[in-house]
Amino acid sequence: MNRLALILAVAALAAPAAGCGEKSSSGAAGAAVAPAASMFFVSVDTSFDSSNWEAGQALLAKFPDGDRAGGWLMQQLGGKGVDFEQDVKPALGPETDLVGFELSGHAVFVGLTQPKDKAKLDALLAKADPPLVSREVDGWTAFSDTEAILDEFERLQKAGTLDGVDAYTKVSGEVAADALVHVYVAPSALGSTPLAGALGSDAPSLALSLAPQDGAVRVEGAASPASGDFFSDEFHADLPSEVPGGVFLYAGANDLERQLGALRDMLAEAAPGLERDLGRAEAQLGVSLDEDVFPLFTEESALYVRPGFPIPEVTIVTHVDDEQGALAILDKLSSELAEYYSGARVTSVDVGGVHAKELFVNQLFSIYYAAFDGHLVVTTSRQGITDLQGTEDRLADDEAFKDATEAAGMPADTTGFLYVDLAKAVPAVLGLAGAGGKNIPNWVQANLEPLDSLILYGEGDGDVAKFVGELSIQ
């Protein structure tokens, strides 16, 4: 099935480098042909003359090796001299889809398109190794590995098509209609994953869209029903106005206790042995994850990273009502860890007038923790505690942070968000890799330089959970 997926990949990734024309519209018309029983449905705008391709071409041009992606994919199609302009472009129609469903307990896939030149499509399919087979279905050309797969496709289609499935129409209507790529995942696709046990009968349907824009790539997603503990409620984030500036990674959330508990339930379902090991560790430490640790994150919390030496500063901060109770839990954990690691020790320290504890691990690494002003903070640097006490130069004041959130259209209330200042984060990561003896090729560094920032945030709307991601490229 690799060749079938690669035809779609070539269409999605090689075309922006090949040029484009005037704007045209696109949509998932193939949903009226795909069976209602489809577990996966991927739709790609292959008109090659839309604003998607114009924006994609401009984005690829920002990378020194942006024009090589399509060439690599062409080689993966079989190394039989596949040329985009001569072989791929005329073979595909304005929309090309990939439909996944089950046959004899195994996932199989069918491609759909309305080719500009049927002979060109036949020639392209013949170049796959082994060759793909095709037939006409409701005015579309369906192609796959075997005739048996196409037989099953038509049999399932007679029972109804995807555009009549409420789960599909609900979530697909929540993402960008004019995107380059649309993806739908049916609840049945989660049946063989660990999420099935955790979500039970509330397994959601998922939709995703991807659209190149002026200076950015935008991703939108939706899930419904969003009724389990994995899904958060919207909240107003106060911590960006409280944590110090200079952050190059920030992840903020609220009421993580529920999600952490749900994650543990999922792990217990998927890996009973790991759950038994966790239980033994809890008994030895005298600390329960469910009763002691997870409740520390009932309110707003965040993890953020700032520049530091010899390693970046990593800080976790959460709002707590019972500061002494929270400290008691960390005291238990740090004491047990100090006994476990030879040479480690816990001492009391004063950090900027705040009584804190230091878990000394070695000469290069310590963990500090303290509770003050309704915050519980755990950090790898004394400065993490000192700077949290300030009121000026907060993250919310950082121009890079404001520019990224405004460009992505992030609202005041979200279900949580992730911010990465890639202009700072990439050099920091490359510097760490270099200090660790890793030789980073120059071409890798050059192709990472255009990355500017990343924002991911979630929203809730009734029983629909949505998220938006925007990757800024300069």
The whole-chain average pLDDT of the chain stands at 88
CA angle 130, 133, 139 (to 5 degrees): 150
Of residues 175, 173, 29, 16, the one with CA closest to residue 99: 29
**pLDDT band with cut points at 50, 70 and 90 for residue 18:** very low
> Crossing angle, helix 68-76 and helix 2-13, to 10 degrees?
160
Q: Is the pLDDT of residue 395 over 90?
A: yes
Higher-confidence position of 243 and 3: 243
pLDDT at 309 over 90: no
Longest Cα separation, the chain: 78
Could you report the per-residue pLDDT of 238-273, keeping only the tens digit for each? Answer: 999 999 999 999 999 999 999 999 888 888 877 889
pLDDT > 50? residue 19? no
**This prediction's pTM:** 0.88
How confident is the model at residue 24, as a pLDDT?
A: 34
CB 467 within 8 A of CB 220: yes
The pLDDT value given to residue 3: 54
225 upstream amide cis, omega within 30 of 0:
yes
What's the mean pLDDT in 299-314?
Answer: 93
Domain boundaries along the sequence of the chain:
2-224, 236-388
Most confidently predicted of 22-26, 414-418, 437-441, 459-463? 414-418
Residue 165 has which token pair?
């499935």
With cut-offs at 50, 70 and 90, classify the pLDDT of residue 440: confident
Q: Read off the pLDDT of residues 49-84 as tens digits, 9 standing for 90 and up.
A: 878 888 888 898 899 987 776 555 555 554 456 777
- pLDDT tens, residue by residue, 38-47: 999 999 998 8
Distance CA 294, CA 428 (A): 31
pLDDT of residue 127: 83
- Per-residue pLDDT tens digits for 150-178: 999 999 999 999 999 999 999 999 999 98
Stronger pLDDT, 95 or 9, i.e. the higher one: 95
